[in-house]
Amino acid sequence: MPPERLPRFEVVARLAGRLVVSAQTHRDGGPLDDSPTLVRMALAAEIGGAGAFRVASADMVALLRRHTTLPIIGITKKYIADYEVYITPTLADAVALVDAGADVVAAQAAGDGRPAETFEQIVRACHERGVAVLADCATAAEAASAVEAGADFVATTMAGYTPATRHVVPPALDLAAQLVRDLPVPVIVEGGVWDREAVAAAFGTGAHAVVVGSAVTDPERITRRLVQAIPSA
């Protein structure tokens, strides 16, 4: 029987000072595009000290939920033509994650480019179900609006990945430090965290938690980076 979901404010507290491992497929159709395999990778990361997970799809949340009591941040990735928002873009996506057992729903906080409901409507629906919401943000203004909409915490996830922030090289540490200074909610650094030094620097901004993805769960990119270090013949 799956463990009971953590109360909304308790899960936020439990993420403090923890490394969150993002166990997602990084290439559709690739060798790791397989939920049971991703669950095993997540569980290996738990043995290594991961404090929580970030996974994509309600099915993946439900499968991982059966194997761990650590907090699970759930997202969906849905690319809809003519709309820029793709991380948990609709209320139906958020509710499906909640029903699957996610402790936190992460959703892109952008006000524009949304295919359906507003970010605030998604927050309200999750809160009604006792689930915290993490706002995936690209800018300080976006994060401030997300807090006004009720987000329990904010993340730098989108910085460097939107047309207006292409100049940002993740991890967006300057943005994280600004959010820590200016906002009343915890801040999570996500994106571009590849090594121990980046983890330390992220926490050095005052971040509540740090998300690591490819550096742990993408053997293709990890191997490619190492191969690139081989001296040319």
pLDDT in single tens digits along all 233 residues of the chain: 556 777 888 999 999 999 999 999 888 888 888 999 999 999 999 999 999 999 999 999 999 999 999 999 999 999 999 999 999 999 999 999 999 999 999 999 999 999 999 999 999 999 999 999 999 999 999 999 999 999 999 999 999 999 999 999 999 999 999 999 999 999 999 999 999 999 999 999 999 999 999 999 999 999 999 999 999 84
Cα distance between residue 60 and residue 232, in whole Å: 41
Measured torsion, CA atoms of residues 124, 139, 183, 24, in degrees rounded to the nearest 10:
60
The pLDDT of residue 3: 60
Q: Is residue 3 part of a domain?
A: no
Q: Is residue 233 part of a domain?
A: no
Please report where in the chains the tokens 């799809």 appear, as a residue.
Answer: 57
The pLDDT of residue 2: 54
The pLDDT of residue 54: 98
The pLDDT of residue 233: 47
Dig out the tokens for 170 from the structure.
């993740």
Q: Is residue 198 part of a domain?
A: yes
Range of the domain at 106: 8-227
Measured torsion, CA atoms of residues 99, 100, 106, 108, in degrees rounded to the nearest 10:
-70
Q: Is residue 217 part of a domain?
A: yes
> Cβ–Cβ contacts within 10 Å for residue 208, how many?
21
Q: Is residue 157 part of a domain?
A: yes
179-200 in b/e form (b: 16+ CB < 10 A) is bbeebebbbbbbbbbbeeebbe
- Count of the separate structural domains present in the chain: 1
Dig out the tokens for 89 from the structure.
């873009």
- For residue 84, the domain's CATH number is 3.20.20.70
Q: Is residue 2 part of a domain?
A: no
Strand partners, 179: none
Cα distance between residue 50 and residue 231, in whole Å: 34
